[in-house]
Structure 1
């Protein structure tokens, strides 16, 4: 899972934020501290043996995106752009671009497929003693047993 999480963080780095906002920083792990705006891969659950002989596991990965709150309205506009379903600022579009072409494995061969299924938890988050506006993205990942 470490390689899968890092590949998702790498895919998320393709997001292009509006001018003046800076660059989205990304981690494939739970960071001690963040440089906002920041995307990271968090908790996950695995359903083993969705296919015979360990041929398929299903992972539900919870990722978070946190945006600084210097200006509440501006931070929420940035977050809304990151949570859009498409476009250059869309985390969904950037992550799903790593699915590969039809017939190819996702994440450079690390998974059979992935899909950003939903956004949830749009709220204030405390992380390492600082407060951010943020949300969670849920990603469904399918792969051979051992993902």
Structure 2
């Protein structure tokens, strides 16, 4: 399983959320950007567990993703972040990312992985990115795929 295409596909899936009227469209990258246009989702740290099955059959990625929202209005920013972090709804990143799993028996992320799951949200707090303060949180995405590719 190749890490860079998996990260890019997760960002592509995140971009499909529908934000509330009057909110800028979510931007997303499959890498940690130098600067962002908020609201922004990006894949950050990656932990790799090799050889989850014999013969290099399965590797597992734990990808920490971040979503950052501008803080021009603290309350509105946190309401938008809450919508993005919800488990369901038009702005829910979990629903958008997990929609990229494909149907039953289909590979995830357009064939890049066997399966994926958004496991949890953590670190809901103020973040500094490129010298600018944002309210944000981390999402942990677990991806399993062929270790031989």
- TM category (shorter chain) comes to over 0.9
Going from structure 1 to structure 2, the CA distance change for 1:96 and 1:128 (only over 3 Å counts) comes to same
Matched, 1:3 2:1: no
Per-residue deviation, residues 42-96 of structure 1 (Å, max 9, x unmatched): 0010000000110001110000000000010000000000000011100000000
TM-score by length of 1: 0.99
Matches within 5 A, 1:1-147: 1-146=3-148
Per-residue deviation, residues 89-145 of structure 1 (Å, max 9, x unmatched): 000000000000000000000000000000000000000000000000000100011
Displacement of 1:146 in angstroms is 5.0
Aligned length: 147
Aligned mates of 2:82, 2:142 — CA distance in 1: 21
Q: CA RMSD in A?
A: 0.7
Unaligned runs of 5+ residues in structure 2 are none
Unaligned runs of 5+ residues in structure 1 are none
Equivalent residue of 1:80, what SS?
Answer: helix
Displacement of 1:21 in angstroms is 0.6
Query: Where do 4+ consecutive residues of structure 1 move more than 4 Å?
Result: none
